[in-house]
Structure 1
Amino acid sequence: MRTGWRKVAHRALELSGLIGPLHRAQERRLAQADVEAFDDGRPLPPAELRVLVGGAADPKWFSHRGRADAERFMDLARRHGSPFESGLSVWDLGCGCGRIARWTAPVVLNGGGAFRGTDINPRLVEWCAAHLPGSYRRNPLKPPSDLAPESIEVIYAYSVLTHLREGVARAWLAEMARVLKPGGLAMVTFHDDDYARAWGPPEAQAQIALDGYFVLNDALEGSNYMSSWTTRQGFRALLPAQLEVCEIRPGQLDAPVQAIAVLRRRTV
């Protein structure tokens, strides 16, 4: 936890807008770090873009974690009756530079489905559009998206709500409900009670227990600079009436793996 004067100075930088250039400078430094060469046989974004989505330039981590998270989403979708390879329309909300889409898009498209990826950063979606299969477009920080109502069968969003204020998080969950077909599936990760206890700053665990939702570094919404935390009960309270909870898997205590909620669009 920051000491008093440092906390005040840090907040002053946030309110003045100066935190943005400082944060971007830190990202550029991270992108220049020496990393071991790695090739997994798929298009790999440059270090600067890898840092923007994952906070690290290491291509091996980018590949392995992306594949692990993709398999996690695909396994959950399969368990809940919506396998990615069965010709479905799938939306990767917050696709970044394709950390997960590198693995999921080919499965969806090879199965005869349609794959869409969107992100608020135009540089990231431009790279995806140029190098990965599927359709990629920019989405705004706040909904709506340009997707038609009831046009998508599966949505997954990795670490999207974790960088949003509560009101915007609610709005994106409502947007998921709008674009999902009745019976459609949404899988959304978030920083929950267990993740806060094992991996969060001390104030996160205390504040979500008190308020249910907590924002650390309240500036640059939608970027990795901002970090949002909620309890599993608090997450349920964010949901619109059209979405029901199939299951919530808690964050892992032995590895920095976020909680994941599996949601279904009600049919009535």
Structure 2
Amino acid sequence: MTAEAASSAIPVPPAHLRTRVTGVEDEGMFQFFGRRISGEIRALFDTAGLPFGAPGQKILDFGCGCARVLRHVMPEADQARFHGVDVDVQAIDWCRVHLADSAEFTVTGRRPPLPFDDASIDVVYGVSVFSHIPEDDQRAWLAEFTRVLTPGGILLLSVNGAAVARMATTPVREQLGTEGIAYVHDGGIPGLPDWYQMCFHTREHVEQNWPTARLRIMSYTENAIMMCQDAVLLRKAGGDREEIR
């Protein structure tokens, strides 16, 4: 079954849940962006020569919402094991009802832990999550991803980089220029916690602050997600391939 056919068999979530992840109620936009992002994730893995959805892989959608992306990776779900986590209780409840045969879903808190054993997840991807949370929370999650990833495991995160920052206010751009990161209260998103706001990163800040002894950046690709967000691909040390650039 193709990804499009598999997705069309899944009910569309209600308007208020679609709005939380897409910004608009429009069903067509919800489907379009979910389909596009799933394709962009596959392309990033293909370009890096990495498997996505291989038999036996355990994959986590961090901040899955109402499965905007997950609904479009159903072909991979036939052979890989998918999990979704989010702070949005309503979204997780909806996913548990409508995608229970394809993935397991769990409500998480603002900060770790995740409900997984050490070194038990092969791939973690988080689309437009670090673009909304404070830096202290980001640090906590990077450490937690390092804990749950298998040796050689892959982490893919998107951030608001230069393309999105160009549309920010002058004070935000100035803060970004001096600090490399700017977390801004922009009113938030109805239905989500008040700490879920807007965050911008410079490439230099990510490259200087995210790597650790166990987590290395493989690539930084500008405008790779949703035509505007930058994609950061990282690998945990260990496994068969340790060469990380």
CA shift, 1:109, in A, is 1.9
CA shift, 1:54, in A, is 1.8
Structure 1 segments unaligned to the other structure (5+ residues): 1-38
Match of 1:162, SS state, is coil
Match of 1:178, SS state, is helix
> Which amino acid is 1:266 matched to?
A
Asked if the contact 2:125–2:156 (Cα under 8 Å) also holds between the matched residues in 1, the reply is yes
Identify the residue that residue 215 of structure 1 maps to in structure 2: 183
Identify the residue that residue 232 of structure 1 maps to in structure 2: 203
**What do residues 23-51 of structure 1 show as CA deviations (whole Å, max 9, x unaligned)?**
xxxxxxxxxxxxxxxx9443210001111
Asked if the contact 1:183–1:266 (Cα under 8 Å) also holds between the matched residues in 2, the reply is yes
Matched, 1:57 2:25: yes
Match of 1:229, SS state, is strand
CA shift, 1:162, in A, is 1.1
CA shift, 1:186, in A, is 0.8
Matched, 1:148 2:117: yes
> Which amino acid is 1:120 matched to?
V
Match of 1:77, SS state, is helix
Matched, 1:205 2:205: no
Asked if the contact 2:126–2:156 (Cα under 8 Å) also holds between the matched residues in 1, the reply is yes
> Which amino acid is 2:231 matched to?
I
Identify the residue that residue 88 of structure 2 maps to in structure 1: 121
Asked if the contact 1:191–1:228 (Cα under 8 Å) also holds between the matched residues in 2, the reply is yes
Higher strand share: 2
Larger radius of gyration: 1
* Shift in CA distance, 224/217, structure 1 to aligned 2, threshold 3 Å: same
Higher relative CO (CA 8 A, sep ≥ 6), structure 1 or 2? 2
**What do residues 103-131 of structure 1 show as CA deviations (whole Å, max 9, x unaligned)?**
12x13321x21100000111111111111
Identify the residue that residue 4 of structure 2 maps to in structure 1: none
Aligned residues: 225
Matched, 1:244 2:216: yes
> Which amino acid is 1:45 matched to?
P
Per the normalisation by structure 1, the TM-score is 0.78
Structure 2 segments unaligned to the other structure (5+ residues): 1-6
Q: Could you list the structure 1 runs, at least 4 aligned residues long, displaced by more than 6 angstroms after superposition.
A: 218-221
CA shift, 1:79, in A, is 2.9
**What do residues 189-246 of structure 1 show as CA deviations (whole Å, max 9, x unaligned)?**
001123212x333333221111111111078686695101111111121343311111
Match of 1:251, SS state, is strand
Asked if the contact 1:170–1:239 (Cα under 8 Å) also holds between the matched residues in 2, the reply is no
> Which amino acid is 1:264 matched to?
R
Identify the residue that residue 3 of structure 2 maps to in structure 1: none
Identify the residue that residue 38 of structure 2 maps to in structure 1: 70
> Which amino acid is 1:265 matched to?
K
Identify the residue that residue 136 of structure 2 maps to in structure 1: 167
> Which amino acid is 1:125 matched to?
I
> Which amino acid is 2:37 matched to?
D
Per the normalisation by structure 2, the TM-score is 0.85
* Structure 1 Cα separation of the partners of residues 175 and 42 of structure 2: 33
Alignment of 1:69-108 (within 5 A): 69-87=37-55, 88-104=57-73, 106-108=74-76
> Which amino acid is 1:262 matched to?
L
Identify the residue that residue 231 of structure 2 maps to in structure 1: 260
CA shift, 1:169, in A, is 0.7
* Structure 2 Cα separation of the partners of residues 266 and 76 of structure 1: 19
